[in-house]
Structures are given as C-alpha cells and as structure tokens.
C-alpha cells in the first residue's frame, strides 16, 4: 500500500462541502474524488482532507491523502484524475508520502482568505468568489480589529455549534485586511487550526467593525466573553478560499511573506 | 418618448449571445433585458446594443439604448432592473440621451480584451473568463505580431462569414499583449469597429505566433491576402470581454492609458 497525497483546487459553488455525506444533499468534493478514483483503478478508498470546507467554500491549495494498492505512477495521477473530474475540480500535484503522513493531523498551519466586493453593484466575474457588501467599509478600523484577533486565544466566541473540537484554544499567527484591488477587500487568516465556521464568524465581526457597528477596541472583550452571542454575524461561504496548508516546521511568519496575495 | 441608455456588465457563460433570437437556442442578453423591462413597466421595447457579443462572450461595459414611453426616473432604472435580472447581468448606469443617439451607430471606438490562461493546469476561478492554453506561449513574439495588426487595414482575412458588414476596412488603434498576472496573458484591442469574430480570429492567429507556428513578420502578408484560410484559428468565446465603448471625439490614444487593464 502507498500513501498518496494530492494538492487540489476547486470552485465550491456547486458542491455541498468537502465531506462525503448522504447523496440527498448533493455532490461533495470528497465523494467526487473517491468516485473518480474508483472509476480509474477499480478500488474504493477513503480520502482524508487537511481542511474541511463548507458548502460553497473554495480551495486553491487543499491537501488530501489516501492509501492505495494501485501501482499507477504518482506523476501520472493528476492527469488521470483531471481527465475524469468535472472542470471545477483540478488536481495540481500528486506525491507519494510516508505512511504516517496525514493531510489533516500533520498540518502545522493553514491559510484561509476571505474576499469582500465592496462596490455598490457587484463585480460580475467575482460574484461566486467574493461576498458582496454595498455599504462602504472602513478598512482602517477593520485592520485594527484584525490585529487584535492575532495570538493564542480561546476562540469559543467564534465557533459555530456542530464542530467536533474538544479544545477552543487556537493560535492566529496573522490576520490581515487589505484592499487588493479597487474596492475588493481581502482578509487573510493564518492559524494553527480553525474551529467550525471560525473564519467566517471572524469576518462577520470584522464586517460589523467596518460598518461602524462594533468598535475595534471591543475585540479583546468579545474574544474573552467566550459567548457566541457576541459574534452572531457569519459571512457567506462564497467569499472563503482555503489558500495553503503547511506541513513543515518553518515559522509561518517567515513563510507568510512569500505566499503573496494567493 | 425618451431615449434611455444603459451601461451593463454580464457573464456570458449561460447566454446564447446578445441578440434576440428563436427561444429554441436559449436565453440571450437582449431577450432577457426586454422581458425584464416588460415586467417592470408593461411595455414592449426594442433594445439596440453597441457591440454584438457571441454566445459565451462577456461584457464589463456594454452599452444599449431603447425608446420608452415610461416615466420612471432614470436614476431608479438600474435598481429596478437589477431587482429582476439574474445575478449574471448587472445594470451599472442609466442615462436619458438625445433621441438621435444610437448605442450602435454613435460609437466611436470599442475596446475588447481577451484573456489566456497559460498555466499547465487551468486556474479554477478563471476557467469561465479566460481560454486555457497549456503550451507555453512566447509573449515577445505575440507582442511583435500584435503591433503589426495596428493601423487601418482591410481585415477580410479576420472576418468570419455570417457578418453583415459591407466594407472590411477597419482601424485598430491599439493591439497590446501583456502578462497581467503570473501566466495570465491579456490581449487588448481598441478599434473603430470589429468584423464578425474578428477579435477571436486575431487572437487565434496571435496564439499560433505564440506557439512558434507562424512568424510575426508574416502578419502584414496574412492581412494583405484577404484570405480567411490564412487565419483559420478562432479563439474560444469564453476568453473575450467587451470592456468599453466610447462615444466622444477624444482620441483613443489619449484615453487608452486611463482604462488600465479593465
């Protein structure tokens, strides 16, 4: 048996999240990958992913792995997969990794980006890849608030119920807000792990700050409250993209600069 | 009666071009606009557009106009339209214009951009808004060839049959090729008018040059031949976007710099 690791990108618009589930909900990324592998080599496999993505969430650098008895050379795997996958999922790389490697448990940190289209009328080409917010946002206030999200905290305030985490302690290495293009705002979050809906709830709170409804100075108190009622807004799925998963021991601070804007 | 002019953007992926036609072909931009207007004010109108866009072609700055007896204030028109239009069409502006204004015949020049994704594996978020070409293109050769397209020429070589133009003389003020992002190539064409499929056939020829199959020096001879067989490649519709239509007498050379990359 070999342990195969894949890097993949997908447009999550037409998927009901990553995880395999009852067919009634519609196709998932995981189910689609497993079905294509079965077609390719007549073998049922169980695919593990680094970062769970909800329905409608996208990925440019999702990492998955699975054990296989197939002898297909790893360099041929991306092309084989891509020939049968729908156009909104693309395998970017495949690698044979040590048996003990788990895309989920070996991950050191992940980067998720959230894009907000702040134009009055939504940008046609980004309508599926950014959330639309017509109210002009105060980016400087959002930047102040984002800075206060950084660090090791109990993030219970920002965890939706339904997650399976036992601890709410997480480290956010970097939380940055910037205007990447005219009225297109990017929130970039790097952390050692994220709770259920955590990035979308953080962005929901940053949007409240940008609209002037919450003061940036309130963030430490909101975190400390450990009370979901203090952070009720959840930003829509379409704006969120899993950008990168890191497995090395290098500091995210050193690497972060190199990742650019995605 | 008032003459109303609209500026609109659309994702052409799900439309069978701009022009009204037999329902059997599927929805068109023109048909969709006319139906929505009828719903809004119970009036049948005939919409004229500046630049015909084929099935799958997009627009960021299409201009249309129509005569109406309705008294709805022009500043309320974009919101009214957008409330009933599908999300892939957005009205950006509405203006009351002189009766003699025609979005089509009053246009002085237009800008169309064509985007080519030159990565080995297509970029997920651009798969509907760029053509994918995995063969690495020689951009410097494409730039030389593009420069030779500029000027006033008989463009019969680059006109598909099916157009309704009597003359093939057109002026291309500017034809530029550049890498706007890592391996994302943009071809920007500004001209006083374009023949049927002309931009897509020009880009098809530039792609042949980029692959080393046609020498840039051959372009003048290919134009002069007036023979469609010398330019047989037509680039796919999805890469093409109508960016801007100009109605002033200002020189396109002066204005072009301000338009940026779209």
- A89 bridge partner residues: A10
Pairing assessment for the beta strands B89-97 and B2-10 based on DSSP bridges? antiparallel
- Write out pLDDT tens, residues A104-113: 999 999 999 9
Q: What DSSP string describes A126-149?
A: GTTTSEE--SPP-HHHHHHHHHHH
Q: From the candidates A125, A131, A259, which should be mutated to test the interface with B, based on the most B CB atoms within 10 A?
A: A125
- Write out pLDDT tens, residues A113-171: 999 999 999 999 999 999 999 999 999 999 999 999 999 999 999 998 877 778 999 99
Q: How would residue A258 be classed by pLDDT, with cut points 50, 70 and 90?
A: very low
Residue of B nearest to A9 (CA): B124
CB contact under 8 A, B124 and A10: yes
- Write out pLDDT tens, residues A30-44: 999 999 999 999 999
Q: How would residue B61 be classed by pLDDT, with cut points 50, 70 and 90?
A: very high
In this chain, the answer to whether the domains covering B2-97 and B109-248 adopt an identical fold is yes
B42 touches chain A (CB under 8 A): no
> Where does residue B44 rank: exposed (0-12), middle (13-18), buried (19+ CB within 10 A)?
exposed
Residue whose C-alpha is closest to residue A140's, from A115, A176, A189: A176
CB contact under 8 A, A60 and B124: yes
| Mean pLDDT, residues B89-108 | 94
Q: What is the C-alpha to C-alpha distance for residues A223 and A231, in angstroms, rounded to an integer? A: 9
B114 marked ligand binding residue? no
Q: How would residue A180 be classed by pLDDT, with cut points 50, 70 and 90?
A: very high
Distances (CA, A) of B64 to B33, B111, B262: 10, 15, 19
B9 touches chain A (CB under 8 A): yes
Question: How confident is the model at residue A26, as a pLDDT?
Answer: 75
Q: From the candidates B12, B125, B242, which should be mutated to test the interface with A, based on the most A CB atoms within 10 A?
A: B125
Domain B2-97: which topology?
Alpha-Beta Plaits (3.30.70)
Question: How confident is the model at residue B128, as a pLDDT?
Answer: 96
Say yes or no: ipTM exceeds 0.85: no
CA atoms within 13 A on the CB side of B212: 4
Q: What DSSP string describes B151-185?
A: EEEE-GGG--TT---S--EEEEEEEEEEEEETTEE
Question: How confident is the model at residue A260, as a pLDDT?
Answer: 44
Q: Which A-chain residues 60-79 have CB contacts (< 8 A) with chain B?
A: 60, 78
- Active site (catalytic) residues of B: 54
Enumerate the H helices of B71-197 as residue ranges. Answer: 77-84, 139-149
- B65 bridge partner residues: B5, B48
CATH of the domain spanning B109-248: 3.30.70.660
Q: What is the C-alpha to C-alpha distance for residues A61 and A96, in angstroms, rounded to an integer? A: 17
Question: CA A108, A65, A42 angle in degrees (round to 5)?
Answer: 175
Please name the residue that has the structure tokens 């009666």: B1
CB contact under 8 A, B10 and A124: yes
Q: What is the C-alpha to C-alpha distance for residues A127 and A119, in angstroms, rounded to an integer? A: 11
Å between A69 CA and nearest CA of chain B: 27
Å between A168 CA and nearest CA of chain B: 33
Q: How would residue B244 be classed by pLDDT, with cut points 50, 70 and 90?
A: very high
CB contact under 8 A, B127 and A10: no
Domain ranges of chain A: 2-97, 109-248
Question: CA B194, B196, B202 angle in degrees (round to 5)?
Answer: 65
Please name the residue that has the structure tokens 């219970």: A156
Q: Which of A11, A121, A129 sits opposite B90 (nearest CB)?
A: A121
Query: Which of the pair, B54 or B72, is modelled with greater confidence?
Result: B72
Residue whose C-alpha is closest to residue B55's, from B28, B84, B16: B16
């Amino acid at each position: 048996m070999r342990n195969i690791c894949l890097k993949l990108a997908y447009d999550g618009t037409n998927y009901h999240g990553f995880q395999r589930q009852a067919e009634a909900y519609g196709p998932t990324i995981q189910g689609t990958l497993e079905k294509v592998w079965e077609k390719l080599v007549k073998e049922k496999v169980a695919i593990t992913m680094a970062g769970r993505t909800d329905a409608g969430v996208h990925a440019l650098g999702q990492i998955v792995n699975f054990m296989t008895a197939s002898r297909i050379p790893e360099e041929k795997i991306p092309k084989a997969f891509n020939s049968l996958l729908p156009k909104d999922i693309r395998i970017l790389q495949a690698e044979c990794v040590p048996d003990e490697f788990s895309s989920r448990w070996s991950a050191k940190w992940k980067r998720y980006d959230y894009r907000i289209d702040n134009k009055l009328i939504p940008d046609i080409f980004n309508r599926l890849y950014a959330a639309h917010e017509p109210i002009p946002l105060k980016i400087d206030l959002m930047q102040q608030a984002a800075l206060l999200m950084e660090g090791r905290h109990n993030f219970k305030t920002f965890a939706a119920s339904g997650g399976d985490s036992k601890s709410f302690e997480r480290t956010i290495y970097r939380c940055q807000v910037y205007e990447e293009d005219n009225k297109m705002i990017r929130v970039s979050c790097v952390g050692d792990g994220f709770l259920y809906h955590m990035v979308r709830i953080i962005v929901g709170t940053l949007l409240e700050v940008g609209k002037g409804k919450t003061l940036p100075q309130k963030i430490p108190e909101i975190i400390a409250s450990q009370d979901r009622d203090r952070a009720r807004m959840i930003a829509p799925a379409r704006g969120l993209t899993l950008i990168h998963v890191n497995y090395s021991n290098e500091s995210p601070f050193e690497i972060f600069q190199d990742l650019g804007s995605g």
